[in-house]
Amino acid sequence: MTTQDFATYIAGLPRVLVGAAALFRDDRGRVLLVEPNYREGWALPGGTVESDDGETPRQGARRETAEEIGLDVTLGPLLAVDWVPPGTERPRPPLVAYLYDGGVLDAEQLKSITLQEEELLSWRLVTREELAELLPGALGRRVGAALDVLERGDGPAELENGHRVG
């Protein structure tokens, strides 16, 4: 296969987005959520992995966390990986979402949170019971599965659209 044939082959492969986020909690077990200004609802600190630059999902989650909330922390283990099918309401390619343990934030770390004003409006800590309302769909199920992994120590969770498989 020539270099040109290989380039044509690669260009014809399906596109898949890669996202990565961190799951932070406080000492009461509440989950840190952020409110983006570019869409409705809440999210976890994280975003798209810059794979064209050679960034790994773990590096992307750490970079996004530092950019979005001003916390540059070493992330813990992978809690979940989720295959999310293409978007229908808002068209987008399929997504592979990685979710890492951000750990438990102490009072000083919580006080030091600095929001990236270009992307975020606010942040808050929520109980597990509040997650279903604030994070509907695959993201809420992904966070729930990650919390289960933390409780049971049986991770990482393999998910499809937020539902555990395997």
Q: What is the pLDDT of residues 56-72, one digit of tens each?
A: 999 999 999 999 999 99
DSSP per-residue letters across the chain: --HHHHHHHHHTSPP-EEEEEEEEE-TT-PEEEEEESSSSS-B-SEEE--GGGT--HHHHHHHHHHHHHS-------EEEEEEEPPBTTTTB--EEEEEEEEEE--HHHHHT----TTTEEEEEEE-HHHHHHHS-THHHHHHHHHHHHHHH---PEEEETTEE--
Question: What's domain 15-164's architecture?
Answer: Alpha-Beta Complex (3.90)
In this prediction, residue 155 carries a pLDDT of 84
In this prediction, residue 11 carries a pLDDT of 78
pTM (two decimals): 0.92
pLDDT means per 10 residues, the chain with 166 residues, are: 77 86 98 94 96 93 97 97 83 92 97 95 96 92 97 94 92
pLDDT tens per residue across span 100-125? 999 999 999 999 999 999 999 999 99
